[in-house]
Amino acid sequence: MRPDETPETPPPAFRFELGERVRVLTHPAQPAVAVLERWPGEAWNDVYDEPIYAVSGFVTRQRESSLAREGSLAIPLDPPTGWRTAGHGEPRRVASGTVESSGGPGIVWYTREAFEDFVLTVDWRLVSPDDNSGVFIRIPPLGSGDPDRDWKPAVDEGYEIQIDDRGVDRDRGTTGSALHMSGAISRRSPARRAASRPVGRWNTFEIEARGPTVAVRLNGVAVSTLDDPHGRRGGHVGLQCHHAGSRVAFRNLQVVRR
């Protein structure tokens, strides 16, 4: 306390405008702050590969789940409140706030809200090179009475942002297909470049859906864009359980409405 202060003197207030504005959720009284700099966890020998942030003038080692964009909706994956499985398989908890695909084929979808124009961000990580999954957006409500067919309307009517570093085209029996590579809007818009990190490292999708346009960034790199004037303009989000043996982890799913 300064000499001119009294116990009734209100604390000084600060407002930061630099960088990306976030909300720190670990303390309910913490206001929106600015991320001034960030580094990959491995640069600081973080065994958990968690990003390191300089937030409003101090360095903090925060888990991604405690940093949320201002105005965002953080959708919980663990516990799976509001999620329902269509088809076979179901994500399993592997750590606090983190789930991993198991079994399949099927899609677990968020039933509580549908979204029209938005930006969705989510972290994902492969366990082995041949793992396969996807993030679905703008899908219709899915059924639960016929596991062999309930998940198919998501594929036929929605958009799948592909997770498959091998780019497997099962119809042709080939690999390296840009239409099936991580970051592609599956079967509709190819991934223009490979931007995923090595197996075992976390990746981040930023998926923007605005009107007829869907644009995908992978680890900050623009990888695919689709203009579809006849496609769905809204719907639910979902995560894919592709097949038994495929294990793709997910965490930090957030949606910002536009």
CB 191 within 8 A of CB 161: no
pLDDT of residue 80: 84
Cα-to-chain-centroid distance, residue 258: 17
In the listed set 33, 48, 69, which residue is the last one of a domain according to the structure?
69
User: Tens-digit pLDDT profile for the chain (258 aa)?
Assistant: 555 555 565 655 544 444 444 444 444 334 455 555 666 665 555 545 666 655 554 444 444 444 556 678 999 998 888 999 999 999 999 998 999 999 999 999 999 999 999 999 999 999 999 999 999 999 999 999 999 999 999 999 999 999 999 999 999 999 999 999 999 999 999 999 999 999 999 999 999 999 999 999 999 999 999 999 999 999 999 999 999 999 999 999 999 998
pLDDT of residue 59: 45
Domain with 51, as residue range(s), is: 20-69
pLDDT of residue 16: 43
CB 227 within 8 A of CB 123: no
- The single-letter code of the amino acid at 141 is P
pLDDT of residue 57: 47
In this structure, how many other beta carbons lie within 10 angstroms of the beta carbon of residue 155? 17
pLDDT of residue 247: 96
Domain assignment present for residue 6? The answer is: no
pLDDT of residue 36: 57
Listed residue (122, 146, 148) closest to 136, CA to CA: 122
Q: Do 60 and 86 reside in the same domain of the chain?
A: no
Cα-to-chain-centroid distance, residue 204: 6
- For the chain, the domain total comes to 2
Q: Do 246 and 200 reside in the same domain of the chain?
A: yes
Q: Do 165 and 182 reside in the same domain of the chain?
A: yes
pLDDT of residue 78: 86
We report the CATH number of the domain holding residue 230 as: 2.60.120.560
Whole-number Å distance between alpha carbons of 146 and 198: 37
Distances (CA, A) of 42 to 36, 47, 98: 19, 7, 20
Q: Do 41 and 90 reside in the same domain of the chain?
A: no
CB 244 within 8 A of CB 203: no
Whole-number Å distance between alpha carbons of 101 and 79: 14
- The single-letter code of the amino acid at 177 is S
pLDDT of residue 51: 63
pLDDT of residue 42: 58
210 CB-near residues (< 8 Å, 6+ apart): 117, 258
Domain assignment present for residue 81? The answer is: yes
Under DSSP, the state recorded for 199 is T
Q: Do 168 and 248 reside in the same domain of the chain?
A: yes
- Provide the whole-model pTM: 0.76
CB 121 within 8 A of CB 93: no
CB 133 within 8 A of CB 122: no
Q: Do 25 and 108 reside in the same domain of the chain?
A: no
